[in-house]
Structure 1
Amino acid sequence: VVYAVWAAAWVTWNVFIICFYLEVGGLSKDSGLLTFRLSRHHSWWHEHGPGCVHKEPAASLGPPDSQALVPGIGCTLEHGYVEALHSALQILAALVGFICACHVASVVTEEEDGCWRR
């Protein structure tokens, strides 16, 4: 039952994320809503999206960096769409889990009722 409640909350959160990144209902990705305007955090997919261009690091005297990413250049999908697709997959997984949790809860409840009838 606890898992079913968690799955319902997870679905609600992911619906919000989809609406946020697709800017539905007056929401804006640039609003700072997810970080409460406390940080300059941005989506991981903004730099690591499918097909994004990698820029070779410039030669320097400092420690060698791994590849520096150029956000938003040459990406196959804009990061907002990748976030929405990722959340949609999370919703599908949570719905399957919710259905299984409800089924298990009903089976356990029926078994407990059967013990009392004896």
Structure 2
Amino acid sequence: MINFIHIILVILGIFGAIQCRTRYVILYLLWMLLWLSWNIFVCCLYLDLGGISKESDILSLRVSSHRSWWKENGPGCQSERLPSTGWQNQNQGNPELTTVLSCWLEYQYIEALHSIIQLFISLPAFVYACYAVSLFSNEENTFDTIGEFHSPSKSPHFFY
């Protein structure tokens, strides 16, 4: 759900930059602050930094046990399924009954790497959006020689 919201807000941010709509770009900037904060949090969580641990159930809001998909399905992971005698529905897999024998790369590093890549992609976009907002606000505040407000030309000249 969050990824869907992220895609929609990125599209709105691009639309706002092309159409010189300051409000859309500001909405994108606010979202990017949340997105950057979330990715920093995920990096700290999976690398056990800042007093938080990947073993806690903070990602599931303490409602259910959280397990990373990469824990069993990472690159080169070999897992062994134990017989599930206590389960009524055999079609439903039990994550506790799967033992991961070995992986090329541990799941916490994959999760942290994923968040770091998103940070490196998002930071230039955040800086560019700040530049666009400052450019748009400068256009809106210009005066002509008579002293009246000059209407912005709405030309996206910051792409040049």
TM-score, normalised relative to structure 1: 0.76
Deviation at 1:24, TM superposition (A): 1.1
Kept in 1, the 8 Å contact 2:79–2:102? The answer is no
Look up the match of 1:85: 113
Partner secondary structure for residue 142 of structure 2: helix
**Regions of 4+ moved over 6 Å:** none
Task: Give the aligned partner of residue 94 of structure 1.
Answer: 122
Count the aligned residue pairs: 108
1:71 Cα offset (Å): 5.8
Shift of 1:37: 2.3
Give the Å deviation of 1:17.
0.7
- Higher-Rg structure is 2
Matches within 5 A, 1:1-118: 1-53=26-78, 72-114=100-142, 116-117=149-150
Q: CA RMSD in A?
A: 2.5
Partners of 2:119 and 2:100 lie apart in 1 by 26
Return closer, same or farther for 1:92/1:76 CA change in 2, 3 Å cut-off: same
CA distance in 1, matches of 2:34, 2:57: 22
Instruction: Flag the structure with more relative contact order, 1 or 2, with Cα contacts below 8 A and sequence separation at least 6.
Output: 1
Judged with a 3 Å threshold, the aligned counterparts in structure 2 of structure 1 residues 30 and 98 are, in CA distance, closer, same or farther, namely same
User: 1:43, 1:11 → 2: CA distance?
Assistant: 20
- When normalised by structure 2's length, the TM-score is 0.58
Q: Give the CA deviation at 1:25.
A: 2.4
CA contact (8 A) 2:44 2:52 kept: yes
Cα deviation, residue 81, structure 1: 0.6
Q: Identity across aligned pairs (percent)?
A: 40
